[in-house]
Each structure stands twice: as C-alpha cells, then as structure tokens.
Structure 1
C-alpha cells in the first residue's frame, strides 16, 4: 500500500507541476493579446527580404511538376484541385502537410517560370483561406514551418512578380511572424518550442527591421538549446530523430548570422557539435535510426545530408550516458539498447515504455526492432505504439513500465515510470536493471546482453526479481526477416533478407506470433515476433536466450577430371 500511496503522491505532484506551467504560459499568452489585436486591426508592414536561407532537405523535380499541375500528395493521400485550400481535406495529416508549405522547396529547386507561377497562385490561395481562419494552419509548429518555407522560397516567388503580389506576400509574412511571436509564451517546452524559435530567428535574420526580434529570439533559442540538448548530444525527450531535424535547421541558421554581421549564440554552435556524433550512434547496419521513444521511419536522405557536415568523420560513440542509451558493436553486428529513465514529464509527449528494449542488426540486415511510430495515422496507433508490448523487452503482468497521464494538464505525458536505470558495462557486455514495475507490481527487471567479439552471437538473460508475477519476453522481428518452422519447441530459425541464417534459442518454450512494423515509410506492415511467456517469476525467475548466426554450407569443390593417357 505504501508503494501505491507514494506513486499516487508522485503522480499528483507531477500533474500539479504541469498545471502550474500551463497556467503560467496561458497568463503570459493572455498578456500578449493587446499587441496581437493591434496587429490584426492596424496597418501591416511589407518588409524587405534581405536573405534567403539554404535548404538542406532533398527535393524532387517530379513533385514540382505534380504541384504545378494541381496534384497534391501528402500523408499517403492524393488530391487533384486547382485550389486545395477550398476543399474538404482527406485527413488531418494531409491538411497539416499542405498548410506547412514545406513542399515549396520542390518548386524552388525546379526554378522554372511554371513553378514560380504555381507557387504564387498557391500562396495567394492560402492568404485568402487564412482570412477564413483555415484551421489546419493554426498549430504553432505548422505556422513556424510555413514562415520558414515562405522565406526559403521567396527568391522564386518574388522573381518576376508584380508589386501587388510582393506587397501582399510580404505583409502576410510579417503578420504571421508577429502572430507567432505573440503565441511564443504559450508554446510548451520541447521540440515545438525549438521549432517556433528557429522560425522566429530565421525571420529576424532574413527580414529587414527585425533587430529587436533577433535579439530576443536568438537569446531564447540559445537558452532552449542549452536546456534541451544534453551533454552527450541526445535530446532531452530521448527521441533519436529530433537531432537530425535540428541539425538540418541549425546549420543554415549559423550561416545567416555572419551574413547579417551578427554573432550567433555560442549554444547554437556547440549544440550542433554535440548532436552530430549521436546520428552515427543511433544508426543500425542499414543506416536506419533506432526506433525508440517516438522514432518513425528514418529519413535516410536527411541523415546522409547531415553526416556530410560531420567534421569529425569519427566512429560512433559506444555510450550516451546522459541520454540513457548504450551501443554494442562487434564485427558486422550492432545492438542499440534503451537503458535510460523516462524523460522529465514536460518533455515526455513522445516517450515510450520501452526501457531495456534493444534493436539488433547484422551487416545491413536489421533482425530485432521495436514497432516504432508510423508516418501516417499516428493518432490511431499512438497509444499502442507506446506500450511496453510494442518493444523488444520484457512486459510484466501484461502491463507497461510507465503510465501515461489522462488529466487536463497531463494528457499524453508520462506521470510515472522508470527511475534511474542501473547500468554496468564491460566491453560488449551490458547488465542493466529498471524499477518501472516496482511501485505497482513489486518487481525489478534485470537484463544482461553479451555480444560476441566476432558479432555472430548475441546472448541474453532476463531476470525478474521481487514478487511473483507472470512476465513475457518479446523480440519483434524486422518485416524482412523470415521465420522458418522448426520442430524444436525452444528454438526458431530466421532467414535474413541478405540470405544469412540465424537461430534463436531459449531455455523456455518459444512461440511465433504476429506483430506490426509501424516505422515503415509505406505505413504499418505485418511482421512477426518471438515470444517467451512465463507464468510465474517465483518458479522461473530468469530466461536465458541467444541469437546465433548459422554458417553457410560450403559448396563442394568439383573433382578434377582424370588425366587421359594419349592413345596410340
């Protein structure tokens, strides 16, 4: 009872803290209303755009032709329309993707007169739709991305444009910047606040007459980077993918400061330097990033672009002690382990209950993965994707190792979960334990992993210490892995896409069940999982298991032909 009572007190304390923070942001936002009202009722400025930032994200000329022809493909849906802002969107994801205007980069890269005309037509359509309070474009991060997209494509849009369009475009941009600046106090901490501040600093550097905004926004951006980027380069939310997007946003921003004879905050420079090695840290053999804490499909093109700017060109670090991850690497094998506590509640909107889960690849073939997050239909899968059962780890009594809040202020945030994780590492061996189940179920999970020096064997042991509870080991397989039936009840044979064979063996019966690979570029895809279920931790406190690479059979050499004696 004392454990449950202590947990209840901790959860209430977290909820109260979140409520106080939300209240302060709401009050700060309320105080900005007079200024926002003056902007809406008063005359707007039409500032000059003096700089255009570099865009490091890849472009597609085919997409540019489609956009010019009125074909809009976002979030897995395609719509044909002359004015896409007047139709009923097929999904919320589609509407948000349209409203970001990030697709302007394809038209910008095309650079043709047809692309410029299409871009101007769509910007004018948006301005008219925004006048009707187009709902999809009101989100803070959507507005931030649209501001950066407008500025980035301004060279294309304004080249050859008449004075009427120039003034209309510049005024619309100025109003959006003012509105986003006024909404800044209400933006919660985390990646959304970083996105808004990056947009404001970009606007201040690229538009004339924004010295005051530049001083304020750059100072706040530096403070947020200092708070959110940990000393080892991980983001405080423990989401691997955030660092890739931040690097691609901050690198062009660093170049803009000297162009305006301004000095960037030192934290911008150091944050990029800290984050860059972590991209290599989170990469498996195929280049994808580990599917932990909200990570979806890896944008391989963005990862490759970011790594071009890695001056160190070094090997990946083996430990991220502040972020709570470990990397085992030997021969062609790589193992990534989530060995960290839940992030602070205010940064935990993407956190998953996957403590002590791991991903494992051999060469370019991922073998064991987590389910991850889908690129589309995120809301439908959000709850299930965050559960412990969606990760390659142990779930106790079919429960998750952390609890997600459902209150007004704690909705979607972690209110209780794993505390500090104890880790002991020697070379390519790791022993870690977490207490995410202690207060509710009275147990502690201990996992041991040993990667052979040759990389052809990964051995493990999972132990449940404390009260008697049922528990289940899950090893979610990459959808490219084929499971070959075997009569052995404690083993399974695996065939990898590259042709190699692996054998999984445990000291308890093994079952093969259906799973789903969510983090696929095409959307959720059927997969399989290896399951070892134990009814009583008192009777069977530990399960040992191993993945072992099978030797490929060697082809027999053909016998040499018998020499023939000459006749005659």
Structure 2
C-alpha cells in the first residue's frame, strides 16, 4: 500500500507540474492577442518573394490531374467539388491535409498552364475562406506546412499572375508569418516547435526585408535542434517518423543560407548529419521504419529521398543508447528492439507503452510488428494503439507498462512507466529488463533474444520476477502473414506471401488471436497475433523461438533419352 500510495502521489505531482507549465505557455501567448487583431484588420505588408526553396518530397502529376478536375483525396476520403474550402470537411484529417497545401507540389510537377491556374484558384479560394470557420487550418503546425508549401510553389503561383493576386498572396504570407511568430511562445515542447521555426526561417530567407525574423527564428531553431535531437541522432520523442520530415525540411535550408550570403547555425548542419545514420538504423529490409512511439505508415519514397543525401553512408550502428533502441542483424534478418525509457514527460504526448517490444523483418517482408499508429481515424484508434497489448512484448494483468493522463491540458502525457531499463549485449544476444510494472504489481519483466549468425533462427525467453501475476506474451504479425496452427498447440506455421515459411514454437500453448495493423497507408487492416498466456505464480519463464524453414528442393526432372542417331 505504501508503494502504491507513493506511485499515486508521484503521478499527481507530475501531472500538476505539466499542467502548470502548459498554462504558463498559454499566459505568455496572451499579450499577442492585440497583434493578431491588428493583423486581421488588414494592417499588413505586401513583401517580395526573392527565393524559392527546393521541395524534396516526391510529386505525382496524376494527382495534379485530379485537383484540376476538382477531385480531392485525403486521409482515405474523396470529395468532388469546385471549391473544397466552401464545404464542411468530412474529417479533421482531411481538412488538415487540404489546409496544409503540401499537395501543391503535385501541381508544380505537372507544370502546365492548367496546373498553374488550378493552383492559383485554390490558393485564392483559401484566402476567400479565411472568414469562415476552419479551426483546423489555423493550427500552428498546419499553418507552418502551408507557409512552406506556398513558398516552395511560389514560382508556379506567381508566374504570369496578375498584380492583384501577387499583392494578396504576399499579404497573406506576411499575416501567417506574424501569427506563427506570435503563437510560437504558446506551443508545447516537441516536433511542432521545430516545424514552426523551420517555416519561419524559410520565410526569413525567401522574403525580402525579414532579416530580423530570420535572426530570431534561426537562433531558436538551433536551440530546439540541440534540445530535441539526441547524440545518436534520434528524436527526444523516440518517434522514428519525426526524423524523415525534419531531414527533408532542413536540407533545403542548407541551400538557402548560402544563397542569401548568411552563415547557417552549426546546429542545422550537425543535426542532419546525426539523423541520417539513425534513419538507416531504424529501417527494415522492406524500407519501412520501426513502428514505435507514434510511428505510422512509412512513406518509403520520402525515406529513400532523404537517404540519397546521406554523405556518410557508414556502417549501421548496433545500438542507439541515447534513443533507447537496439538492432540485431544477421543474414537477411533485421530485428529492432525498444529498450529505452519513456520520453521526458513534456515530450511524451505520443509515446507508446511498448518497452521491450520488437519488430522482425525477413528479407523484404515484415514478419513480427507492433500495431503502430494510424494515419486515418486517429482519434478512434489512438488510445488502443498506445497500450502495451498493441505491441510485441509482455503485458501484465492486462495492463500497460505506462500510465497516461486521460484529460485536461496534459491529456496523453506519460505520468508513470519504467524508471529502470537495463540492457546488456554480447554480439547477437540481447538481454533487457524493465520495472514498469513494479510500482503497481511488484514484478519486473526481463527479455532475452539470441539471433543466429545466419539470421535463420531467433530464440527468446521472457521472465516475470516478483509477485504472482497473470501475464501474456504477444507477437503481432504483419497483415500479409498467414498463421496456421499445428496439432501440438505449441507451434505455428507462418507463411509469407513470397512462399517462404517460418515456424514459431514455445514451451507453452500458443493461441492465434485477431489483431490489427494500424500503420497502413490505406487504413487499419486485419491481422493476427500469437499469444501465450501464463501466470508467474505457476511459471516465471516462457521460452519461444522463430525458425525459418528450408524451401523444399525442386524434384529432379527425368532426362529424356537420346535419340539413336
């Protein structure tokens, strides 16, 4: 009881501190209300765009044809209309993608007069709709994406445009810059701050007369990069997906600074150099990134684009101790393990309770995964995706190894979780233990994994030490993997689409239960999971393993007899 009361008091103390910090940020943003009002009354300037930043994200001219025809496909939903900003949006995700204007790159790639006209028409429609209720479109991160997209497409938008459009476009840029600068002080810690600062630095470099803004934003961007990018290149939130977007946003800045004869902050150069190897570290054989801590579907084309600019191309490290990940690789098998603490509370809004979970790829095929985070219907799946049961690890008493704030200004933040995560490694054998369940249930979870040198076998053991508690060992399978039970009930045949097969075996009965793959571009898909249930009062250890089956050799064809010639 004393331990439980102490844990409860620690959670309340952390929640109070986080809430006070959030309210303080909001209070600091209040003085900018008058500035915002003056902006909306039209007291804005019409600056000149003097540079166009490079857009590294891939584009599809076919999407441009859809926009020209009035077809808008975002977040899994299709809307056909002449003015997408004049209709009620079908979902917040759809509106977020539309109002971010990242899709303008598709029209720019087409480069036709029709694409130019459509781009100007849609930008003008947004400016006309500013008086309507589009709260999603004015969120700081969405506004930052729109500012970057408008600047990157300004060549297409302004070529051949009438002076009236140019003035209105430039004034809208100026207003959005000022609003972003005003809202920055109220932003919570995390990648959102980096996105806003990158947009402001880009604007300061591309728009004439914004030297003061550039100096202010560049200094704060350097401070945030030093604060958020860890020594091994990971992001402080431990979300792999943050890295790719940051790299694709920071690389163009490295070109814009010399073009304006301005020395870039050293933090921009060093941050990119640290992140590149980390992206390779977190990548599987199929090109996807590990599904940890809010990672959703991997845009493999964007990952490939970012890695093209990796000048180091050195060996992939085996450990990322600052980020809390381990990598086992042999033959064609890659395993990535979450062996780290939860992110700091202020950066934990998207963290998942997946300590000691792992993912496994066999060649170009994923075999074992975590459920991941959804890109569509996030509000429906977000809470379930963060639970320990949505990860390939052990859950005790059907609870998660972390506790999250359920309401208020700190909703979603990690209030408690593993405080001690010990990792020891010898070659391809990894042992890790965490105490995420000690405060509530008096147990610790330990996991040992040993990968064979040829990559064809993985042996593992999970143990629960302490008070007797029910626990479940879960292995979520990728949606394309077919699980076939065997007669003994302790092994399962796993068939991959390419015809390869693996066998999972354990020293306890194995059940095949439904699961869901959330980190899919097309939305959630049905999948399967292997579940071993036990009670530490009866057995404290569960041994299991994956073994690749040899393909049966093709039957020799009988040779035809030679003709007697």
Q: What is the TM-score when the length of structure 2 is the normalising length?
A: 0.98
Determine the structure 2 residue equivalent to 1:140. Answer: 140
Asked if the contact 2:470–2:536 (Cα under 8 Å) also holds between the matched residues in 1, the reply is yes
Asked if the contact 1:15–1:409 (Cα under 8 Å) also holds between the matched residues in 2, the reply is no
- What do you get for the CA RMSD once the two structures are aligned? 1.3
Determine the structure 2 residue equivalent to 1:428. Answer: 428
Q: In 2, distance between residues paired with 1:98 and 1:164?
A: 24
SS at match of 1:31: helix
Determine the structure 2 residue equivalent to 1:240. Answer: 240
**Which structure 1 segments of 5+ residues have no match?**
none
Instruction: After TM superposition, give the deviation of residue 562 of structure 1 in Å.
Output: 6.5
Q: In 1, distance between residues paired with 2:310 and 2:77?
A: 35
SS at match of 1:436: coil
The answer to whether 1:228 aligns with 2:228 is yes
Asked if the contact 2:55–2:252 (Cα under 8 Å) also holds between the matched residues in 1, the reply is yes
Determine the structure 2 residue equivalent to 1:540. Answer: 539
SS at match of 1:183: helix
Determine the structure 2 residue equivalent to 1:169. Answer: 169
1:119–1:563 CA distance, 2 compared to 1 (3 A): closer
Q: In 2, distance between residues paired with 1:294 and 1:168?
A: 38
How many aligned residue pairs are there?
565
Q: Pairwise mapping of residues 174-253 of structure 1 onto structure 2 (< 5 A)?
A: 174-253=174-253
Asked if the contact 2:250–2:268 (Cα under 8 Å) also holds between the matched residues in 1, the reply is yes
Instruction: After TM superposition, give the deviation of residue 113 of structure 1 in Å.
Output: 1.1
Q: In 2, distance between residues paired with 1:187 and 1:199?
A: 14
Point out the more displaced range, 429-438 or 69-78. Answer: 69-78
Asked if the contact 2:22–2:410 (Cα under 8 Å) also holds between the matched residues in 1, the reply is no
Asked if the contact 1:515–1:527 (Cα under 8 Å) also holds between the matched residues in 2, the reply is yes
**Which structure 2 segments of 5+ residues have no match?**
none
Q: In 1, distance between residues paired with 2:44 and 2:293?
A: 42
The answer to whether 1:11 aligns with 2:11 is yes
Point out the more displaced range, 66-75 or 236-245. Answer: 66-75
Q: In 1, distance between residues paired with 2:216 and 2:410?
A: 30
Q: In 1, distance between residues paired with 2:252 and 2:563?
A: 75
Q: In 1, distance between residues paired with 2:297 and 2:40?
A: 40
Point out the more displaced range, 13-22 or 316-325. Answer: 13-22
Determine the structure 2 residue equivalent to 1:378. Answer: 378
1:552–1:38 CA distance, 2 compared to 1 (3 A): same
The answer to whether 1:28 aligns with 2:28 is yes
Q: In 2, distance between residues paired with 1:78 and 1:168?
A: 30
Q: In 1, distance between residues paired with 2:528 and 2:11?
A: 35
Q: Pairwise mapping of residues 114-153 of structure 1 onto structure 2 (< 5 A)?
A: 114-153=114-153
The answer to whether 1:357 aligns with 2:368 is no
Determine the structure 1 residue equivalent to 2:311. Answer: 311
SS at match of 2:322: coil
Determine the structure 2 residue equivalent to 1:401. Answer: 401
Asked if the contact 1:280–1:315 (Cα under 8 Å) also holds between the matched residues in 2, the reply is no
Q: In 1, distance between residues paired with 2:259 and 2:420?
A: 45
Q: In 1, distance between residues paired with 2:240 and 2:266?
A: 23
Determine the structure 2 residue equivalent to 1:552. Answer: 551
Asked if the contact 2:485–2:491 (Cα under 8 Å) also holds between the matched residues in 1, the reply is no
Q: Deviations over 1:31-50 (max 9, x none)?
A: 22233233333521000001
The answer to whether 1:483 aligns with 2:498 is no
SS at match of 1:32: helix
Q: Deviations over 1:43-90 (max 9, x none)?
A: 210000011100000001011111111111111111111111111111
Q: Deviations over 1:350-407 (max 9, x none)?
A: 1000000000111111110000012211111000000000000000000000001024
Q: In 1, distance between residues paired with 2:557 and 2:63?
A: 54
Asked if the contact 2:318–2:327 (Cα under 8 Å) also holds between the matched residues in 1, the reply is yes
1:465–1:34 CA distance, 2 compared to 1 (3 A): same
Instruction: After TM superposition, give the deviation of residue 455 of structure 1 in Å.
Output: 0.4
SS at match of 1:290: coil
1:76–1:421 CA distance, 2 compared to 1 (3 A): same
Q: What is the TM-score when the length of structure 1 is the normalising length?
A: 0.97
Instruction: After TM superposition, give the deviation of residue 559 of structure 1 in Å.
Output: 4.9
1:562–1:44 CA distance, 2 compared to 1 (3 A): closer
Determine the structure 2 residue equivalent to 1:415. Answer: 415
Q: In 1, distance between residues paired with 2:58 and 2:419?
A: 40
